[in-house]
């Protein structure tokens, strides 16, 4: 069979670092071992029943068996506007300031192609979600990394970005609550971001995927709550984490009208919108009682407490995340993040994600997901304790 060569575009795409991790895990499981997988980011809870019921009812409506409007149903855009007003006090024009997305990832990968030309500069957090890199490469743009360090609570230091880089930058990605660090942003930080973006004509893209998951009684701040944010950026929200709808592939972008129009224009050429019944269920998720969201956040916080308390008791000096469903843990001295992840997999049969997979400044950490029940998290702690890597706290 003839082997057709891939395009230069596909060859330029970044390697999927975590594909090798998946293969390692599969090999260990194939040997019959009981593996506790804390390396993934796939929600483990089912979609709330009232959302599933809304899908079922809408699927029976013949009107949803036809093509949906290219740019999504107006009822879903209006639901997004009501959601932002209710949750964040942000006023949104549903007709001009909302774009319906095929999941948050689609929007994050699309946005560089909407706004950038080859050679343009993008500011990207390091460590950060690797799919930011994919969109930048598809646009043939250049990345300038913004280090996220523990001493700054994993917020970028804009003062250390060279002036010429700020002047060249056209786009900036941010993500709070943060994947992989679990950090949250302050209102003051977003105000500082708006000021920087206005001064240098930078479009800010805030990835708000974990917007519903904040701990210690703190509700995560929306970027669009900062004065002037709607003028210089957008926020991308997904139903995957807030409502356990990861497999449904639906999300939205909210913000600057010109950016929303650019997203819609690109998607006009790529898709014919999302199945109408999914849009109906998404609207139900946004408009119905949010008690399921509160319960989910409380569940993750209780899991976080079991994991972090347990690791601290065995002597691992770790800090609790403030949001998201991840914990960002420093590796013991003498190991790289990949070596330590391999050790946990081989000796404890516990899967974690090496920090280097999220960027240069992710080295020295591993990411742990809170996506299994508390008994399994405690079992993971017990297995790690048996490796005798830490001095136990009494």
Q: Are 285 and 51 in contact (CB under 8 A)?
A: yes
Q: CATH number for the domain including 356?
A: 3.90.1150.10
Measure the CA–CA gap between 52 and 59, rounded to whole angstroms: 10
Of 8-17, 138-147, 291-300, which range is least confident?
A: 8-17
Q: Judge whether 3 lies within some domain.
A: no
Q: Which residues are registered as beta bridge partners of 382?
A: none
Could you give the dihedral angle defined by the CA atoms of residues 41, 44, 48 and 52, in that order, rounded to the nearest 10 degrees? 90
pLDDT tens-place string over residues 287-339: 999 999 999 999 999 999 999 999 999 999 999 999 999 999 999 999 999 99
Q: Is the peptide bond before 143 cis (omega within 30 degrees of 0)?
A: no
Residue 24 has what pLDDT?
82
Q: Judge whether 390 lies within some domain.
A: no
Instruction: Tell whether 103 and 238 lie within a shared domain.
Output: yes
Residue 274 has what pLDDT?
94
Q: Judge whether 184 lies within some domain.
A: yes
Q: Is the predicted pLDDT of residue 394 greater than 60, yes or no?
A: no
Mean pLDDT, the chain, whole residue set? 94
| The total number of structural domains that make up the chain | 2
Residue % of the chain over a pLDDT of 70 = 99
Instruction: Tell whether 86 and 235 lie within a shared domain.
Output: yes
Reported as a pLDDT band with limits 50, 70 and 90, residue 277 is very high
Q: CATH number for the domain including 105?
A: 3.40.640.10
Helix (H) or strand (E) holding 232: helix 229-232
Instruction: Tell whether 247 and 330 lie within a shared domain.
Output: no
Listed residues 287, 321, 336: the one ending a domain: 287
152-170 per-residue burial string, b: 16 or more CB within 10 A, e: under 16: eebbbebeebeeeebebbb
Instruction: Tell whether 282 and 317 lie within a shared domain.
Output: no
Residue 209 has what pLDDT?
96
Average pLDDT over residues 364-390: 94
Q: Cα 231 to chain center, whole Å?
A: 23
Instruction: Tell whether 252 and 190 lie within a shared domain.
Output: yes
Instruction: Tell whether 132 and 241 lie within a shared domain.
Output: yes
Residue 14 has what pLDDT?
85
Of 128-132, 261-265, 360-364, which range is least confident?
A: 128-132
User: What is the pTM (predicted TM-score) of this model?
Assistant: 0.95
pLDDT tens-place string over residues 148-158: 999 999 999 99
Residue 393 has what pLDDT?
64
Both tokens assigned to 270: 């790529």
Q: What is the C-alpha radius of gyration for the chain, rounded to an integer number of angstroms?
A: 21
Q: Judge whether 264 lies within some domain.
A: yes
Instruction: Tell whether 312 and 257 lie within a shared domain.
Output: no
pLDDT tens-place string over residues 69-100: 999 999 999 999 999 999 999 999 999 999 99
Q: Judge whether 67 lies within some domain.
A: yes
Q: Name the residue range of residue 226's domain.
A: 49-287
120 versus 21: the higher-pLDDT residue is 120
Instruction: Tell whether 241 and 124 lie within a shared domain.
Output: yes
Instruction: Tell whether 109 and 177 lie within a shared domain.
Output: yes
Angle of the 49-59 helix axis to the 276-287 helix axis, nearest 10 = 150
Listed residues 259, 287, 315: the one ending a domain: 287
Average pLDDT over residues 201-220: 96
Residue 97 has what pLDDT?
98
42-55 per-residue burial string, b: 16 or more CB within 10 A, e: under 16: ebeeebbeebeebb
User: How does DSSP assign 134-200, residue by residue?
Assistant: HHHHHTT-EEEEEE--GGGTT---GGGS-HHHHHHEEEEEEESS-TTT-----HHHHHHHHHHHHHH
Reported as a pLDDT band with limits 50, 70 and 90, residue 19 is confident
Instruction: Tell whether 110 and 206 lie within a shared domain.
Output: yes
Q: Is the predicted pLDDT of residue 185 greater than 80, yes or no?
A: yes
Instruction: Tell whether 156 and 222 lie within a shared domain.
Output: yes
Reported as a pLDDT band with limits 50, 70 and 90, residue 32 is confident
**Which residues lie below 8 Å from residue 45, measured CB to CB, with a gap of 6+?**
244, 296, 299
Listed residues 256, 287, 318: the one ending a domain: 287
Instruction: Tell whether 22 and 138 lie within a shared domain.
Output: no
């Amino acid at each position: 069979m003839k082997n057709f060569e891939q395009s230069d575009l596909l060859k330029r795409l970044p390697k999927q670092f975590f594909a090798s991790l998946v293969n390692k895990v599969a090999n260990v499981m194939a040997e019959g071992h009981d593996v506790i997988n804390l390396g993934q980011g796939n929600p483990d809870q089912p979609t709330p029943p009232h959302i599933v019921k809304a899908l079922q009812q809408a699927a029976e409506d013949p009107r949803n068996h036809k093509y949906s409007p290219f740019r999504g149903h107006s009822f879903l855009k209006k639901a997004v506007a009501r959601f932002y007003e209710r949750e964040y006090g942000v006023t949104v024009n549903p007709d001009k300031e909302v774009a319906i997305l095929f999941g948050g990832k689609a929007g994050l990968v699309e946005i560089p192609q909407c706004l950038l030309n080859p050679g343009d500069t993008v500011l990207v957090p390091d460590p950060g979600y690797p799919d930011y890199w994919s969109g930048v490469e598809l646009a043939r743009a250049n990345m300038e990394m913004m280090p996220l360090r523990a001493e700054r609570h994993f917020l970028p230091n804009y003062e250390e970005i060279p002036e010429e880089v700020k002047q060249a930058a056209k786009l900036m990605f941010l993500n709070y609550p943060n994947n992989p660090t679990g950090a949250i942003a302050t209102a003051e930080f977003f105000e500082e971001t708006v000021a920087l973006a206005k001064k240098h004509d930078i479009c800010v893209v805030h990835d708000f995927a974990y917007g519903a998951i904040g701990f210690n009684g703190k509700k995560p701040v929306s970027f669009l709550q900062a004065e002037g944010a709607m003028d210089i950026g957008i926020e991308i929200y997904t139903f995957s984490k807030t409502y356990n709808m990861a497999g449904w592939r639906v999300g939205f972008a909210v913000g600057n009208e010109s950016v929303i129009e650019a997203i819609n224009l690109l998607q006009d050429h790529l898709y014919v919108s999302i199945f109408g019944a999914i849009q109906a269920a998404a609207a139900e998720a946004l408009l119905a009682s949010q008690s399921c969201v509160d319960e989910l956040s409380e569940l993750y916080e209780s899991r976080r407490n079991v994991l972090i308390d347990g690791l601290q008791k065995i002597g691992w000096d770790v800090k609790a995340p403030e949001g998201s469903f991840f914990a960002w843990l420093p590796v013991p001295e003498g190991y790289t993040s990949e070596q330590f992840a391999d050790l946990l997999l081989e000796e404890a049969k516990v899967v974690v994600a090496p920090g280097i997979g999220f960027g240069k400044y992710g080295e020295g950490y591993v990411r742990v997901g809170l996506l299994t029940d508390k008994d399994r998290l405690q079992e993971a702690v017990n297995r790690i304790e048996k490796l005798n890597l830490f001095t136990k706290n009494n």
